[in-house]
Amino acid sequence: MTRIHVARGSGRGQGDVVQLPDPIQEPDFQGETRLRHSNRSRDIEPPTPAFVIDVPVLEEFVSRFQQALDVHWPNSILSYSFKTNSLPWLVSFMRNSGVWAEVVSDTEYELALALGYAPDRIVYNGPIKSRERLRFALQNGSIINLDSKREVTWTAELARELPGKELAVGLRVNWDLESLCPGESTTGDEASRFGFNADNGELDQVIAELTSAGVRIAGLHMHRNSYSQSLGVYRAAASVAADLITSRDLDLEWIDIGGGFFGSDTGPVTFDDYIAVIRKTLEPVVDPRRTRLIVEPGGSLIAVPVEFHASVIDVKEVGPHTFVVTDASRTNIDPLFRRQRRFETRLDTEATEYRREQIISGFTCMEDDRLTRLHDAPALKTNDRIVFYKVGGYTMCYQSLFIEYLPAVYVRDRTSLTQVRRKWGIDEYLQGNRWYEKDELVDPAAPESPATCRETSNFRSEVLSV
């Protein structure tokens, strides 16, 4: 079996294949094209379609971020952004690695509890907190950054109900990224809708309302999305925080700089660079030994370690075009259909002929379900495998239920491949629903009913070993 790494295919652009002389080199994930032969049997590859998480790579990324914090800001919290990918196996992996949970809804908060997080290991953000869950979090030690006016009202109410209990919160700051870093804001000149604006007096009003009720302002939350994820964005966030700390005479327990970091094994910016510039900017106004730095990486930890495996199910010649139809969909690896960066791919094929262009397509009925284009690559045939690398960020959480349901997920360590989520079938799709049987609206099917006893819903119990 020949394995060819194609690093320059994209959803909209072109790609190249170059054959290198050494047939045993492993992929280096540096954007180079590689040919490699492997004696690894296909029976240790997952059935397709499926996601695969490379555990050693994931461990490396988590370790590198923690090391950067240990060097530059030891008094810190590394938390994982659930919204990026909340696969239960992944959440439990982060918990076991000592990484906190960062959640932005009641649902995510409850998922963290269900998967073994203690409330005092949860950072609770976002504007959609319910009154009940917020009150629970306030009384059980969670780190909370308020983001909406109703949350301010509810927190003040609880403080007045419990005058003997100290309540402490952080505040999400609405600040103008575009004026400080032109071209970086994902909303352009329209500003951000999150947090409390300092320029129009809203932030000061919130501080006054909370402190008058006996609530202590313990933190600032500075997260902003950006286009380039550059050091300048984090320098700007830290500078705004520093100005607020000085001008409002704040004595803070934490500064939550947010997420959005660039995560790559070979990128121009490292985790170490980010934390170093944040410390340099904030150190003049806070004591890092007293004030904790909170970071909330998501994609920078999980994007690179995840692969998506697909198989060719048909090849069609239409005029000058070659369409390679797969059992995957663009919705699996680019669910919002807006990715501009190139996909790094691997082809497992025995083909010896090359084609000038092949359009790699999905199984859905949408004509624009096209995953990538290959140029001057081996002529793919039915049952050949295509592996898409670095697709772990916001893919599983945005996963579509269009035509087919959720694909299986596997984790791979150095010696084995283990399924951690079975492929969804009819059973999973029907759970929690009600439907008509004749003229009667019935509850979900009982466990013994045919609808819930299909072999396709069973986990693959075996562990595939190298």
In which residue ranges of the chain is CATH 2.40.37.10 found?
Answer: 2-40+306-389
- The predicted structure's pLDDT at residue 1: 64
Put simply, whether the predicted model's pTM sits higher than 0.85 gets the answer yes
Hey, is 464 helix, strand or coil?
strand
- Summary mean pLDDT of the chain: 87
**Average of pLDDT values for 292-296?**
98
The single residue listed with the structure tokens 């919204």 is 83
Residue 103's DSSP bridge partners are: 124
* Whole-angstrom distance, CA of residue 465 vs CA of residue 463: 6
Q: Is the pLDDT of residue 39 over 60?
A: no
- The predicted structure's pLDDT at residue 30: 30
Instruction: Give the dihedral sign, CA 153/156/161/166.
Output: positive
DSSP-derived pairing of the beta strands 408-412 and 416-421: antiparallel
Of 330-344, 354-368, 414-428, 433-447, the one with minimum mean pLDDT is: 433-447
pLDDT tens digit sequence for 72-92:
999 999 999 999 999 999 999
Hey, is 143 helix, strand or coil?
strand
* Whole-angstrom distance, CA of residue 210 vs CA of residue 216: 7
In which residue ranges of the chain is CATH 3.20.20.10 found?
Answer: 55-302
Given a contact cutoff of 8 angstroms between Cβ atoms, the answer to whether 331 and 308 are in contact is no
DSSP-derived pairing of the beta strands 2-9 and 408-412: unpaired
pLDDT > 70: percent of the chain: 86
Residue 294's DSSP bridge partners are: 77, 256
Q: Is the pLDDT of residue 296 over 90?
A: yes
Q: Which CATH architecture has domain 55-302?
A: Alpha-Beta Barrel (3.20)
Q: Is the pLDDT of residue 315 over 70?
A: yes
Residue with more model confidence, 251 or 19: 251
8 pLDDT tier (thresholds 50, 70, 90): very low
Q: What is the DSSP letter of 252?
A: -
- The predicted structure's pLDDT at residue 347: 96
Question: In sequence order, which residues have a C-beta less than 8 Å from that of residue 148 and are 6 or more positions away?
Answer: 127, 129
- The predicted structure's pLDDT at residue 6: 59
Q: Is the pLDDT of residue 459 over 70?
A: no
CATH class (in words) of the domain with range 2-40+306-389? mainly beta
C-alpha closest to that of 162 among 131, 135, 133, 129: 135
H-assigned helices in 31-148: 55-72, 88-96, 106-114, 131-139
* Whole-angstrom distance, CA of residue 106 vs CA of residue 6: 41
**Average of pLDDT values for 437-452?**
67
H-assigned helices in 362-442: 426-430
CA atoms within 13 A on the CB side of 293: 33
Measured at the alpha carbon of residue 385, what is the angle toward residues 383 and 387, in degrees to the nearest 5? 160
Tokens of 106: 């009641």
